[in-house]
Amino acid sequence: MKESMNFSRRWIVVTGASSGLGKAIATLLASEHQANLILVARRLEKLEELKHTLEKKHSIQCKTIAADLSDISNIERMFRESIQNEEVYGVVLNAGITYFGEHQQLPWDQFEQLLATNVSGIVKAVELYLPYLTEKSQGGGIMLVSSVAGLLPVPYQAAYSGSKAFITHYGLALNEELKGDNVSLTVFSPGGIATEMTHSSGLAAQFEGSAVLQSPEQCAAEAINAMESRRALYVPGWLNRLQVFGARLLPRSLLIFSAGKIYRKALAAKRNSQ
């Protein structure tokens, strides 16, 4: 059995680090584990602000890399820059985008960007970092941030749900292939989180203030624990775990019907708020 990961004074890459879950994960890695961080997102000013805060408050080191992770060349640059002067120990692939609405209203270019960010970009990053971590043989690991939507089909988030289903199955299959190697891969599958992405998509209009949405801080703590203990798959939150367990017992058609009713109401609330 592989030993637990130890993040202290190790360099960890966190994508999507400028806000939401990624920012919360980076903050907890710095404050609770004294990890050094390579912060990646599109908005450099947000990354620099977080870098300054974490270095000042927690006496750790940070680097920032501005990158659009829907662009393969940006992912290749992120990899090169992240390992240029530091020895990377862990990688949290958290960056992702969603679409909430009727699938037939999703523009093709927006779908391609979703696919590039949520699927192709993740696979390319794993393709680059996994051989590196294996060669370093320091017991490092990768965490893929998927979603409960990758385990349960979600109407009105059809493309997002499908992209996360790919990541979930890809990650779990790859985890099995890595059983004999000195590196691990964790799939972390949260449900709704009260983040900027949730607000901008319109989902918060229906779910804000309910048990459906976890705080980024709660979710981040469970994510780090799952990665540290090298869990193959982890679903945070009792309500999310209950849903996944129920999916084993109930007909899939009933689950999709129930989700459709809930998200139809959420979509109506979004339209009424506009």
Q: Please answer whether residues 64 and 39 qualify as being in contact, where contact means their C-beta atoms are separated by less than 8 angstroms.
A: yes
Distance in angstroms (rounded) separating the CA atoms of residues 263 and 208: 13
For 226-257, write each residue's pLDDT tens digit: 999 999 999 997 777 776 676 676 666 666 66
- List the domain range (segments joined by +) for residue 153: 11-273
Q: How confident is the model at residue 201 (pLDDT cuts 50, 70, 90)?
A: very low
pLDDT tens digits for range 99-119: 989 999 999 999 999 999 999
Residue 2 lies in a domain: no
Report yes or no on 5 lying in a domain: no
Q: How confident is the prediction for the chain on average, in pLDDT?
A: 89
> How far apart are alpha carbons 84 and 121 in whole angstroms?
20
- Whether 75 is covered by a domain: the verdict is yes
| CATH code for position 194 | 3.40.50.720
DSSP helix/strand/coil, 40:
strand
Closest CA to 95 of 35, 154, 17: 17
* CB 144, CB 227: distance < 8 Å: no
In the chain, what percentage of residues exceed pLDDT 70?
Answer: 84
In the DSSP assignment, the letter for residue 105 is: G
Q: Tell whether 140 is covered by a domain.
A: yes
Q: pLDDT tens digits for 75-85?
A: 999 999 999 99
Question: Which residue, chain included where needed, has tokens 């404050």?
Answer: 31
Average pLDDT over residues 194-212: 53
Q: What percent of the chain has pLDDT over 90?
A: 72
pLDDT on residue 85:
93
Residue 270's alpha-carbon distances to 42, 57, 156, 209, in angstroms, are 26, 38, 12, 16
Residue 78 or 203, more confident: 78
Q: Is residue 172 part of a domain?
A: yes
- Per-residue HEC secondary structure of 205-272 comes to HHHCCCCCEECHHHHHHHHHHHHHCCCCEECCCHHHHHHHHHHHHCCHHHHHHHHHHHHHHHHHHHHH
Write the pLDDT tens digit of every residue in 139-166.
999 999 999 998 888 889 999 999 999 9
143 in any annotated domain: yes
Predicted pLDDT of residue 242: 74
Domains held by the chain: number: 1
Predicted local confidence at residue 192, as pLDDT: 80
Q: Is the pLDDT of residue 91 over 80?
A: yes
Outline where the chain has alpha helix (H).
20-33, 44-58, 72-83, 108-115, 121-136, 158-177, 196-201, 204-207, 216-228, 238-249, 252-273
Q: What value does the mean pLDDT take over residues 61-65? A: 98
Full-model pTM: 0.87
Q: Is the residue at 1 inside a domain? A: no
Determine, yes or no, domain membership for 3.
Answer: no
What pLDDT digit, counting tens, does each position of 5-52 carry?
999 999 999 999 999 999 999 999 999 999 999 999 999 999 999 999
